[in-house]
């Protein structure tokens, strides 16, 4: 799991899809993954609860807006049954 709220915030518009924001975050972290499709962008809703965001959705419309704006990149297969 990688916290991306502590890095310089990439510019995000209401037209950016989750996959584009994921790529911006990876570039900012200077991370190069062999298989980026194995990771998800997720919004932290509570300390032990996250909202996994679908790659083809627009980030602005798919995230919860009444909660904080902390996001993580997490291994897709580590947290799913």
Provide the CATH number for the domain around residue 60. 3.10.20.90
Number of domains composing the chain: 1
Quick check: 17 pLDDT over 80? yes
**Is 80 part of any domain?**
no
Q: At residue 45, what are phi and psi to the nearest 5 degrees?
A: -95, -45
Of 7-11, 15-19, 38-42, 48-52, the one with minimum mean pLDDT is 7-11
Which domain, by its residues, includes 36? 2-75
pLDDT-derived band at 80 (thresholds 50, 70, 90) equals low
pLDDT-derived band at 16 (thresholds 50, 70, 90) equals confident
4 closest CA partner among 33, 37, 30: 30
14/29 Cα distance (integer angstroms):
22
In tens, the pLDDT along 28-76 reads: 777 777 777 888 888 888 888 888 888 888 887 777 777 677 888 888 8
Calculate the CA 64 to chain-centre distance.
Answer: 13
58 closest CA partner among 14, 9, 5, 12: 14
């Amino acid at each position: 799991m990688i916290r991306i709220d502590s890095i310089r915030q990439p510019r995000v518009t209401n037209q950016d899809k989750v996959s584009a924001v994921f790529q911006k975050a990876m570039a900012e972290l200077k991370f190069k993954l062999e298989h980026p499709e194995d990771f998800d962008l997720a919004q932290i809703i509570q300390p032990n609860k996250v909202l996994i965001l679908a790659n083809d959705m627009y980030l602005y419309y798919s995230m919860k807006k009444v909660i904080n704006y902390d996001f993580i990149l997490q291994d897709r297969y580590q947290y799913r049954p």
